Structure 1
Amino acid sequence: MENEHPRTRFETKIAVLLRRDLATWQRLNVTAFLVSGLGHQLPEVIGEPYADADGTPYLPMFRQPVLVFEGTEDTLSLAHGRALARDLPRAVFTADLFTTGNDQDNRAAVRAVPGDQLDLVGLAVHGPRNAVDKVLKGARMHP
């Protein structure tokens, strides 16, 4: 039986790059925080709300996959610079954010450090597939 809904090849890509030395809980936490920023800033990446057969409503989610990569501290720094140079929508998570307890302190921690000195542990980007691929050069898919 032929699939009625063939797989879509999206022209854009949502990607998260994590520093490879993070603990599992940190990887999950950072990923969740990073993609929340993309969903807020880019409403076009969000699909329609869900509902089950009983009619119970559920929140909408991204309409395309989120690809997760890992890399070294240098890989993250280079990717950050490439994302800035290409003016791609991006979200950052720094090591300092593991020690803060609220959104206001999170923003203050990032604001306190020049961009080229951020201790990045995660970066999320969205944009044309080829541009995101160039940003992620040197990273590998998360195992």
Structure 2
Amino acid sequence: MFDTKVALIIRDDLAVWQRLNVAAFLATGIASAAPDAMGEPYIDGKGNRYGNMLGQPMLAFEADLHGLQAAHRKGLERELTLIPYVQAMFSTGCDEDNRQAFLAEDADSLNLVGLAIRGPKKAVDKAIKGLQLHK
């Protein structure tokens, strides 16, 4: 199977459009951080070429703020790949503003609305222990 695991954790009190937006951004972060995990491009029966996707599943979980912060802390302790998304990023309009909003956060108490984690399967499982799959 896979030696690594990818988990997207989305805060449970977001509007549906926000949940989808956060999941999309987190997935692109994982793809960028793990180019070795990308699959091959798709080709249909007529020979049309399409883009490639991550070559392994990404599981979506939900959590409240404290659950996200706990997973973040455990991910840092285990040196896993982490892709964070904080509440303030909803009010920005570009990547540079997102990075500035993130930099302004209290690093010990990030107002997380989403977090992607990738790493060895057992280490990711420990970081997300107790979280439920997204409904």
Flag whether TM exceeds 0.5 (same fold): yes
Alignment of 1:100 with 2:109, yes or no, is no
Larger radius of gyration: 1
**Percentage of pairs with the same residue:** 47
Structure 1: where are the runs of 5+ without partners?
A: 1-8
**Number of residue pairs matched by the alignment:** 135
**Which of 115, 123, 130 is residue 123 of structure 1 equivalent to?**
115
Q: TM-score, normalised by structure 1?
A: 0.91
Structure 1 residue 117 displacement after superposition? 2.2
Per the alignment, residue 36 of structure 2 pairs with 44
Report whether the alignment pairs 1:64 with 2:56. Answer: yes
Distance 1:86 1:135 in 2: 8
Can you give the 5+ residue segments of structure 2 that lack an aligned partner in the other structure?
Answer: none
CA RMSD of aligned residues (A): 0.9
Aligned letter for 2:125? D
Q: How does 1:24-43 map to 2 (within 5 A)?
A: 24-43=16-35
SS at match of 1:116: coil
After the TM superposition, which segments of 4 or more aligned residues of structure 1 sit over 6 Å from their partners?
none
Q: Say which SS state the counterpart of residue 108 (structure 2) adopts.
A: helix
Aligned partners of 1:71 and 1:140 also within 8 Å: yes
Q: Is the 8 A contact 1:93 1:122 kept in 2?
A: yes
